Amino acid sequence: MIQYDPDCFICRKHRKEIHIPGGAIYEDDLVYIGHAQIREGQATAYLGYLMVEPKRHVPGVAELTDVEAQAIGLMVARLSKVLKASEKAEHVYVFVLGDFVHHLHVHVVPRYPGAPREYWGIHVDEWPGAPRGGAEEIDALCMRLREKLKNE
Ligand SMILES: [Zn+2]
């Protein structure tokens, strides 16, 4: 039943063939949650930038089963609460782009207090003053989120 594409970065990550900082914040048979990677050529990532993905290799929201959609929606809501409570996010963005990567990944992105208005929206991670961190900070943040999620 699980659709898997051996050339897909997200499928390979779910199979632990690729390691990302922080590892899986949560996973079950349907859903995988992890922190966004540090982009190539950069030392740090925007902290708290999370991805919620179906385990199945499907391109978009339209291809989800009801059960997958419910699981993803629930986790998006829980992560948003946890980002506010644990990481002091002022607001949480949720969006899907998927123009180039054909394995659905729902972006769940905190906006931190003080973010200037010109960075609000999908460019919030470009704010130079945003909290950023390397692998160690991402690991620590994922640990905090894992703990908080247990209590949700
Ligand atoms: Zn995939």
pLDDT in tens, 15-64: 999 999 999 999 999 999 999 999 999 999 999 999 999 999 999 999 99
**Cα–ligand 1 centroid distance for 101 (angstroms):** 8
Q: Which CATH number fits domain 9-150: 3.40.190.10, 3.30.70.100, 1.10.357.10, 3.30.428.10?
A: 3.30.428.10
pLDDT in tens, 57-94: 999 999 999 999 999 999 999 999 999 999 999 999 99
**Cα–ligand 1 centroid distance for 4 (angstroms):** 6
**Cα–ligand 1 centroid distance for 106 (angstroms):** 13
Token code pair at residue 82: 């946890």
CA–CA separation, 97 and 148 (whole Å): 27
CA–CA separation, 51 and 94 (whole Å): 10
Which residues keep their CB under 5 angstroms from ion ligand 1?
5, 8, 10-11, 57, 103
Q: Who's near 31: CB < 8 A, 6+ residues apart?
A: 52, 53, 54, 55, 68, 71, 72, 75
pLDDT of 81: 97
**Cα–ligand 1 centroid distance for 98 (angstroms):** 12
**Cα–ligand 1 centroid distance for 141 (angstroms):** 25
Q: Select from 21, 13, 16, 26 the least CA-distant residue to 147.
A: 26
Q: Where are the domains of the chain?
A: 9-150
**Cα–ligand 1 centroid distance for 61 (angstroms):** 14
More confident residue, 3 or 53: 53
pLDDT of 138: 98
- Tell whether the model's pLDDT for residue 2 goes beyond 80: no
